[in-house]
Amino acid sequence: MERRHFLHSTALGAMLLKGLRLSGATDVPALLGGTPVRREKWASWPVFNQAEENGLLEVLRSGMWWRGEGKRVAEFERAYSQMMGSRYCLATANGTSALVTSLGALGVGAGDEVIVPPYTFVATVNAVLIHYALPVFVDTDVETFQMNHRKLRASVTPATKVIMPVHLGGAMSEMDEILEVASERKIPVVEDACQAHMAEWRGKKSGTLGKAGCFSFQGSKNLNAGEGGAILSNDEEFIESCYAFHNNGRARKVTSYNFSYASNGANLRMTEFQGAILLAQMRRLEAQSSSREQNARYLSQQLRKIEGITPAAEYSGSTRNAYHLYMFRYDPQGFAGLPRSIFIKALNAEGIGCGGGYSPLTEEPFLKQRLESSAYKKLYGEKRLNEVMEQNRCPDNVKVCNEAVWFTQTMLLGGRKDMDNIVDAILKIQKRADALKAQA
């Protein structure tokens, strides 16, 4: 219904108009025509200055644009492994190729199972499917949004080739139990740390706890090169296998005119331009990470006081959260039954950009199609596929998908006033939840 028509034709509209006159427009939800809590822009993103410009121009003018000729990618690999406390680093074209390369170097293929969480970006699962391996999902821990480590042990089978936790939103998965199960069964852990630059578990950086840690430097990430990725590892033999895999199977020592191959693979290399941007962007990562964490901790203190809002919890072993996302669960009960979709709309109208996050990955038609394909039936047999599809239902994950609300990391780069705006907007919506619900 058009807003003006709505206001003049309903009892609620009349009440709102009266409210407008009585208490001023600031109390009326922006979705119902009131003044938004916030009109200012959020902290800008991406951030860059002369350092990025110089770095890019140097590469351009040098004519050495790929890693085989230049030195930026190698320099970045040294700097990133040092900053993260890992012995080795291999830069890749993007985070997906870091995951694909790690699984390829570990020999993951047809007939293997890889354990993954369902609350993640689709790339985690695509990296498994591209190798014709079987993704086995362990349900989500509703409190933390991470893979439920308590359910991991029961999902391991003799076919499990890799356990791949995701540090979702920049918060750490419960690594004590994940590493314990992995070491009991001698299964390598590949951490999908694509969202978790600088996060820590008991003082160790994300991506350095398992066999490999994979990162993304795509434009929305806390460390940004537009596109980019990296693998960290302390295992030299493994990182050399990754090198060969990401270089069409050609090992590091192979020269231009030597066409011999260590393995299969693909071209998943990072360019020198990406390397140059990353070297400049990296200098800001520590300060930006601290700012995100300080703002997020303050925001959580405030939001915990609001009925119906439950910020994602962290495990006790987590010593640093990268806050790539700020995530909380929304309960309509605290908001007069206002559905999440209207809450999100109302918050956006107040100038607080937010979204509902992932939808249930295990219910995606593409996944069902893949698991029901003749190739998968031949590889795994209908009995195992049916078992896995049953196990992949993940009801807790569906709950999280239905209740989540997200803010992006860039909203955490400003000052405390930005956080207060978020809190004020939520309180304003809560106060007028009845009116918003009636309008829906």
- Please identify the residue of the shown chain whose CB is closest to the bound ligand PLP: 95
Residues in region 257-296 near ligand PLP by CB under 6 A: none
Identify the residue whose tokens are 């994940």: 178
Distance, in Å, from the CA atom of 265 to the CA atom of 245, rounded to the nearest integer, reads: 4
Which is nearest to 223 in space by CA: 206, 243, 244?
Answer: 206
E strand or H helix that includes residue 36:
none
Only one of the segments 63-71, 118-126, 286-294, 304-312 lies at the binding site for ligand PLP (rule: CB under 6 A); that segment is 118-126
Which CB, 134 or 325, lies closer to ligand PLP? 325
CA distance 292 to 322: 7
Q: CA of 311: how far to CAs of 243, 266, 297, 403, 415, in Å?
A: 40, 41, 10, 11, 19
Q: Which range binds ligand PLP by CB under 6 A, 1-9, 21-29, 91-99, 376-384?
A: 91-99
CA angle (413, 414, 420) in 5-degree steps:
120
Stretch that binds ligand PLP, among 76-84, 116-124, 179-187, 360-368 (CB under 6 A): 116-124
In contact, 67 and 90? CB cutoff 8 Å: no
- Among positions 102, 120, 281, 439, the unique one binding ligand PLP when judged by CB under 6 A: 120
Query: Strands, E, within 6-112: which ranges?
Result: 88-92
For residue 96, the minimal CB distance to ligand PLP (Å) is: 3
Single out the segment in contact with ligand PLP by CB under 6 A; choices: 83-91, 117-125, 252-260, 431-439: 117-125
Of residues 19, 34, 36, 95, which one binds ligand PLP by CB under 6 A? 95
Contact, 7 vs 33, CB < 8 A?
yes
For ligand PLP, the closer CB: 230 or 423: 230
Q: Is residue 358 a contact residue for ligand PLP (CB under 6 A)?
A: no
Question: In the set 77, 192, 240, 350, which binds ligand PLP (CB under 6 A)?
Answer: 192
Of all helices (H) and strands (E), which one includes residue 318?
Answer: strand 318-320
Q: Is 400 in the site for ligand PLP (CB under 6 A)?
A: no
DSSP H helices, 304-364, are 340-349
Q: Among 74-82, 189-197, 203-211, 404-412, which window interacts with ligand PLP (CB under 6 A)?
A: 189-197
Residue 216 interacting with ligand PLP (CB under 6 A): yes
430 contacts ligand PLP (rule: CB under 6 A): no
Largest CA distance in the chain: 81
> Hey, what are 252's tokens?
């590091």
For the CB of residue 258, give the shortest distance to ligand PLP in the complex, in Å.
30
Member of 81, 86, 94, 208 binding ligand PLP (CB under 6 A): 94
Residue 395 near residue 139 (C-beta atoms within 8 A)? yes
Cis peptide upstream of residue 158 (ω within 30 degrees of 0): no
Task: Give the shortest CB-348-to-ligand PLP separation in angstroms.
Answer: 22
Contact flag: residue 123 with ligand PLP (CB under 6 A): yes
Our CB check for ligand PLP shows the closer of 95 and 311 to be: 95
Select 127 or 426, whichever has its Cβ closest to ligand PLP: 127
Answer for which of 42, 76, 80, 121 binds ligand PLP (CB under 6 A) is 121
**CB neighbour burial string for 344-354, b if at least 16 within 10 angstroms, e if fewer:** bbbbbbbbbeb
Residue 217-246 contact track with ligand PLP, rule CB under 6 A, x = bound: -x----------x-----------------
144: left (phi over 0), alpha (psi -120 to 50) or beta: alpha
H/E segment holding residue 239: helix 236-246
Contacting residues toward ligand PLP, per CB under 6 A: 94-96, 120-121, 123-124, 166, 192, 194-195, 216, 218, 229
